[in-house]
Structure 1
Amino acid sequence: MDVDPEELFGNADVPAWRNRALLVFDRVPIPAAVCRTDGIVLLANPAMAAEWQTTPGRLRGRQVLELFHPRSVEQVQRIVEAVRHGHRSRYPVLVHWSGPDGRERHGELTADTVSDTPEAPLWLLVLLRVLGTRDTPEEPTRPRSEKVTAMERAILALAAGGATTAQIARAVDLTVDGVSYHITRLSRRWGVANRTALVARAYVLGVLDPGVWPPTAEPARTEGHRPDAGQP
Structure 2
Amino acid sequence: MAPRNGARPVAVCDVYGAVQVANPAMAAECGTTPGRLRGRDVLELFRPQEATQVERIAEALRLRHRSRYQVSVRWQAPDGAQRYGELTADPVSDTVEDTPALLVMLRVLAEREAHEQRPPQVAPIEARILALLASGTTTAQAARETDLTVDGVNYHLRRLSSRWNAANRTELVARAYALGALAPGVWPPAPASWDGPE
The corresponding residue for 1:98 is 76
Structure 2 counterpart of 1:47, from 3, 14, 25: 25
The corresponding residue for 1:29 is 7
The corresponding residue for 2:108 is 130
- 5 Å matches for 1:94-173? 94-133=72-111
The corresponding residue for 2:137 is none
Say if 1:51 and 1:64 are closer, same or farther in 2 by CA, change over 3 A.
Answer: same
Identity of aligned residues (%): 61
Contact 2:19 2:40 in 1 (8 A): yes
- 5 Å matches for 1:192-207? none
Which of the two has higher C-alpha Rg?
1
The corresponding residue for 1:66 is 44
C-alpha distance in 2, partners of 1:27/1:55? 16
Deviation at 1:28, TM superposition (A): 8.3
Say if 1:79 and 1:33 are closer, same or farther in 2 by CA, change over 3 A.
Answer: same
Q: Counterpart of 1:129 in structure 2: which amino acid?
A: R
The alignment yields a C-alpha RMSD, in angstroms, of 2.0
Contact 1:43 1:60 in 2 (8 A): yes
Contact 1:34 1:43 in 2 (8 A): yes
Contact 1:90 1:110 in 2 (8 A): yes
C-alpha distance in 2, partners of 1:95/1:62? 16
Query: Normalization by structure 2: what TM-score?
Result: 0.52
Deviation at 1:119, TM superposition (A): 2.2
When the two structures are aligned, how many residues end up with a matched partner?
109
Q: Counterpart of 2:28 in structure 1: which amino acid?
A: A
Contact 1:39 1:64 in 2 (8 A): yes
- Secondary structure of 2:110's partner? strand
Q: Counterpart of 1:86 in structure 2: which amino acid?
A: R
Say if 1:85 and 1:61 are closer, same or farther in 2 by CA, change over 3 A.
Answer: same
Structure 2's unaligned 5+ residue stretches are 113-198
- Secondary structure of 1:65's partner? helix
Structure 1's unaligned 5+ residue stretches are 1-25, 135-232
The one of the two structures with greater contact order (alpha-carbon pairs below 8 A, sep at least 6) is 2
Contact 1:41 1:62 in 2 (8 A): yes
The corresponding residue for 1:192 is none
- Secondary structure of 2:30's partner? coil
